[in-house]
Amino acid sequence: MGAPFDYSYVFSFLPKLLSTLGVTMLIVAGSLLVGIVAGFLVALPRLYRIPVLNAFSMVYISFFRGTPILIQLFLFYYGLPEILKLVHIDLSRAPVMVFVILTYGLHTGAFMSEMIRASVTAVDRGQVEAAYAMGMKGHQAFLRIVLPQALAIAVPVFSNMVIALLKDTSLAFTLGLMEMTGKAQTLGNITQHFIEAYLALAFIYLVISFTLEKLLLRAERRLMRHEVPESAARKRFRVQEKLSYRRIIAGIRPEKGGAEL
Amino acid sequence: MIQLTDISKSYGKNVVLKSIDLTVNKGEVVVILGPSGSGKTTLLRCVNYLEKPNGGEIAIGDYRVQCKRATKKEIHELRQRSAMVFQQYNLFKHKTAIENVMEGLVVVKKMPKAEARLKSIALLEKVGLADKLDAYPSQLSGGQQQRVGIARALALEPEVILFDEPTSALDPELVGEVLAVIRKIAKEGITMIVVTHEMGFARDVANHVVFMDEGVIVEQGPPSELFHNPREERTKQFLKRITPELNYSI
């Protein structure tokens, strides 16, 4: 198959592939945006147990989590215009990109909603009670107390999702969208150097995934700064502190603020 | 003055509070005692509506709320008149000690940040944590966290502070420092309702002791009377069991 392997092609393909990086990143960014909005809308009925909407959310989540993204792409690209034709909306001229972002967005949204639900549920109930007890209103307690802590819990999951999404976008070429994978195939077809094209492609995906992971890790550290791990030196100090404190407290009578040990 | 009238609460068929009446005068320290499951924590949580009572009336100062038809706005008003210190501290984990104290001042009382900061520093000094202003709760011991919790409650200048077993989750050697702080603020004439198992504390600090069992107030009175001369058989039993050191002969 194709021409004999020549590594110089790998290098010459890199800039050509990178010229379509913008398309891939547009799919990722657009889908994330749609996904976050959809995720919130779908998570809310489940968090607040709103009767009918809750059932809708569950069907939505099962569908997008339970079917392959490739099938979803085909269903949306070929099926949605047909359905909308019935209500006289013509989508035949809509750019492919719209369908791609919509499908990836809704797909990601299903996973996002589960992430949001799990993170919000994971925040200690006592935190909300403390906020209410000091006289905060519902939205203040959610925005100021629950959300920041939920975000910190969500970041590692979110990070995985972004990387999964990035790699999933490589299927958009099946609808004829000229993103990076599509470009690699075209380059392979023209030059017959398929392996080199895919090597260059894999390298680019790897670098982007790696960079995204590092960036999100940094965000996680920042959001989690309240859970500072203690240094060994500090721990030793604390043990001593406790010992001496124990001795002092034991010497004070309980009615003077000491404690029976 | 806090007045609870005919407060009742049940979860399904399980009746937790049976028509409780309780009056707490201004500046008074009321300690609620009782075996676990007697409803004392539920009663305390009803005062600021963390538990929704099924019926009755709650009055804090001149603000009255009919529990059955309390609106969101009324509950919010009611909560602004009290503050709570929790068994599990419940400090905001993503905020430092000083931010925890400032939070209510800035968000609920709408105080300018600089002013709130000064006030918070003064309060943290008062509870002996002047050197821990910027520590996160995860960096503080249980006793230190609870003292921040007390500073946070004081900051709001509520008409009453509700203490829900403030020392039950602490290591024995940390109980003293927290009780010492509560004693100190009790002397300043702040109205408090305290649910606790610390008998020594109840005896020394309370002006009024309430003994609850199975959702009713069995007996109440000044500590000298309730501890040394209980009228009800149930109270005698309880006190005997919880202060066993009186019966030990070594």
Judged by CB atoms closer than 8 Å, whether chains meet at A126 and B204 is answered as: no
Return d(Cα B18, Cα B162) in angstroms, integer. Answer: 20
Q: In the prediction, which pLDDT does B21 show?
A: 95
Q: Phi and psi at residue B209, in whole multiples of 5°?
A: -120, 135
Residues in chain B closer than 8 A to A251 (CB atoms): none
Quick one: tokens of A55?
Answer: 């059932």
Burial class of residue A146, CB neighbours in 10 A (0-12, 13-18, 19+): middle
Task: Determine the residue of chain A that is closest to B162 in CA distance.
Answer: A133
Quick one: tokens of A138?
Answer: 């519902």
Indicate which of A132, A134, A144, A223 best probes the interface with B, i.e. most B CBs within 10 Å of its own CB. Answer: A134
Return d(Cα A200, Cα A190) in angstroms, integer. Answer: 16
Q: Does B48 touch chain A (CB under 8 A)?
A: yes
**Digit-coded pLDDT (tens) for A149-175:** 998 888 888 998 999 999 999 999 999
Helix ranges restricted to H, B140-193: 142-155, 172-187
**Digit-coded pLDDT (tens) for B107-124:** 999 999 999 999 999 999
Return d(Cα A165, Cα A204) in angstroms, integer. Answer: 15
**Digit-coded pLDDT (tens) for A4-34:** 888 888 899 999 999 999 999 999 999 999 9
**Digit-coded pLDDT (tens) for A198-241:** 999 999 999 999 999 999 989 888 888 887 654 544 555 554 44
Return d(Cα A143, Cα A152) in angstroms, integer. Answer: 13
Residues in chain B closer than 8 A to A152 (CB atoms): 94
> Could you tell me whether strands B208-213 and B29-33 are parallel, antiparallel, or unpaired per DSSP bridges?
parallel
B9, B54 in Cβ contact below 8 A? yes
Q: In the prediction, which pLDDT does A254 show?
A: 47
Place of tokens 């020594």: B200
Quick one: tokens of B191?
Answer: 């109205």
Judged by CB atoms closer than 8 Å, whether chains meet at B204 and A255 is answered as: yes
**Digit-coded pLDDT (tens) for A137-146:** 999 999 999 9
pLDDT greater than 50 at residue B71: yes
Closest CA to B145 of B161, B128, B120: B128
**Digit-coded pLDDT (tens) for B28-50:** 999 999 998 899 999 999 999 99
Q: 10 Å Cβ neighbour count for A78? A: 11
Q: In the prediction, which pLDDT does A153 show?
A: 87
Quick one: tokens of B20?
Answer: 């409780």
Judged by CB atoms closer than 8 Å, whether chains meet at B137 and A129 is answered as: no
Q: In the prediction, which pLDDT does A245 show?
A: 47
Return d(Cα A124, Cα A128) in angstroms, integer. Answer: 8
Quick one: tokens of B155?
Answer: 């900051």
Q: In the prediction, which pLDDT does A4 show?
A: 83
Give the three-class secondary structure for B151: helix
Who wins on pLDDT, A255 or B208? B208
Amino acid at B51: E
**Digit-coded pLDDT (tens) for A88-130:** 888 778 899 999 999 999 999 999 999 999 999 999 999 999 9
Place of tokens 């398309």: A23
Amino acid at A81: P
Q: Which of A228, A242, A261 sits opposite B139 (nearest CB)?
A: A228
